[in-house]
Amino acid sequence: MRDNKRKYLCKLIFVILILQLGACGSVTNVTVSKSFPAVLSTPKEVTVAIVFTDEFSGYSGTPNNKTTIDLGSSQVNLFKSAFKGLFRDVYFLNEQTPLPSDTEMVISLSNAEVQVATPSENYLNVFEVWLKYNLSVTDSDGRLITNWFMPGYGKTPNAFMYSKENAISQATNVALRDAGAKLLLDFYRIPAVNQWLREKSSESKAQ
């Protein structure tokens, strides 16, 4: 009886491994969750325009020639939620929309890099995803405040019983949330941004 159970388990594990190896050799199109919870934080009294270019809003990452990750609408929704937690007044614009007259800061986002590692590549029983964004931060007159590269990292708890598509989708969701958390925690720690805020505060007091 025990021998039969062992044979059954061995066959089951063999089938799972074959399915996973087969998935790793096929083309994978990944769709990521498009909704994220509202951020609970105290925004600063700054009026900011966030520019989402058409390329950013419709972005599909291709970390390799067998994987495509549809990130566009998901990352837009994530950053809308995060920026509302950072600033009192936020305008979300496309690149064709003129800046509102009361804009004080402009932030334009672009995708810098997307990487994926599967169990067959990292020799771990997890799928991993790395994201990297570039944030170009200027004042309302277009003068550069800073260019900031912001990473995000996510992985699955394990690869057991995950399809490749589902595993990469889950890891990408974690990476997006990680990027959002870094934005909230680190944006005001950027030296150039911190300096700009101090100068803005001094100008307001002098008026």
Contacts of 183 (CB under 8 A, 6+ apart): 79, 82, 83, 86, 150
Find how far residue 14's CA is from the centre of its chain. 35
pLDDT value at 66 more than 90: no
The C-alpha atoms of residue 8 and residue 159 are separated, in whole angstroms, by 21
pLDDT value at 14 more than 90: no
pLDDT value at 116 more than 50: yes
pLDDT for 4 equals: 55
pLDDT for 26 equals: 56
Stated pTM of the model: 0.82
pLDDT value at 29 more than 90: no
pLDDT value at 150 more than 80: yes
Question: Of 38-42, 94-98, 110-114, 198-202, which gets the smallest average pLDDT?
Answer: 38-42
Provide the token pair at 163. 């399809």
The C-alpha atoms of residue 206 and residue 3 are separated, in whole angstroms, by 85
pLDDT for 63 equals: 92
Look at residue 52 and give its three-state secondary structure: coil
Question: Of 13-17, 117-121, 153-157, 166-170, which gets the smallest average pLDDT?
Answer: 13-17
Q: What is the mean pLDDT of residues 7-36?
A: 56
The C-alpha atoms of residue 16 and residue 63 are separated, in whole angstroms, by 25
pLDDT for 21 equals: 42
